[in-house]
Amino acid sequence: MKLSHLTLTLATTPLLSASPTPAYPHPSRSKYPGLDILAKRAGLLYFGTAIDNVVLNNTQYTSIAHNASEFGQVTPSNGQKWMYIEPARNVFNYSMGDAIVLPAIAHRQLRRCHNFVWHNQLPDWLTTGNWTKSELEGILENHIRHEAQHYYGECYAWDVVNEAFNDNGTLRSDIWLDTIGPEYIALAFRFARKYTRPGTKLYYNDYGIERINNKSLAVAAMVEDFLSREEPVPIDGVGLQAHFTAGTSPGYENITRVIEVFAEKGVETALTELDVRVKLPDSSEEMVQQAKDYADSVRACVDSESCVGVTVWDFWDTVSWVPDTFPGFGDACLWTANFTKKPAYYAISDVLRGD
């Protein structure tokens, strides 16, 4: 049974036992409560979605995105990244982040804020500057200070550092590592704790760590190092992005095992960017496999005491990042282009119901 999680505002209820579920919807399932309602009943803190600014003019989309019974948590997929928040040095623009965060507050949805530090989507002024170590440390602290204080108290959690490791477990060469050194990660977490509201969950977030491998073990070693220092580095969680391909996802056992590894190190986990892409054009067989992979991933979180929630990386195929990044693949989300719920949606519902 999943233990209740300490939260800022919400209580949870005991877990319903979970079991494998059929992939296709039964007519009676149209009467199911939303995914977030079911997730809370199953002992999770939330079931959430990422939202991108490019689709905020679509009222059908936003009515689902800010339906708190479906999604009790929201992540701005792009609007809080460095290139949009600080497009020029010491010039801050929060309009894109606010466009997602403010409606989420109004609809009483938790916010997972994303992200302070990444190697990607950085402004030219930052990447082309010839900074000294001390200069870049100052820029890093200044950025985190301003963004954290603007969203002070409005974020349940922050992805403090995103994708700092290579697949082989070494640290990624980027402006942060090459100029500051490996300690930039610990510095970012210390700055985040300094400027966010007490109780805000601070996460390291990455892809490809949903099974035991060189990368996930390197992240686990970092967590152990951070928490064992004389002055511990404040880290509360590890985000498993969970970008999968139908038929080759890690599966229930692998995801459960890696969650246990992070729990043993003393941090919570979450599936932070879940989607399951398929080869195009899709088929009924691929939809069955996609539903199974989604359901197995969610079930692994539900069955693990330290996994607090699941976020899908948007829910509507039309705005998925997948086709542009993985040519020939797509249809990775829970709603089709015409806003029809897929078999994967109902498979997740069944897992959360314990059917």
Residues with a catalytic annotation lie at 163, 273
Other beta carbons within 10 Å of 190: 19
Q: Which of 343, 341, 337 is nearest to 58 (CA)?
A: 337
Alpha helices in 280-332 (DSSP H): 284-302, 322-325
Other beta carbons within 10 Å of 41: 17
Distance of alpha carbon 231 from alpha carbon 27, whole angstroms: 56
Q: Which of 300, 244, 301, 294 is nearest to 270 (CA)?
A: 301
The three-class DSSP label of residue 50 is: strand
154, amino acid identity: E
Q: Are 285 and 23 in contact (CB under 8 A)?
A: no
Distance of alpha carbon 97 from alpha carbon 115, whole angstroms: 11
Other beta carbons within 10 Å of 28: 7
310, amino acid identity: V
Cis peptide before 115 (omega within 30 of 0): yes
Distance of alpha carbon 50 from alpha carbon 36, whole angstroms: 14
Beta bridge mates, 245: 277
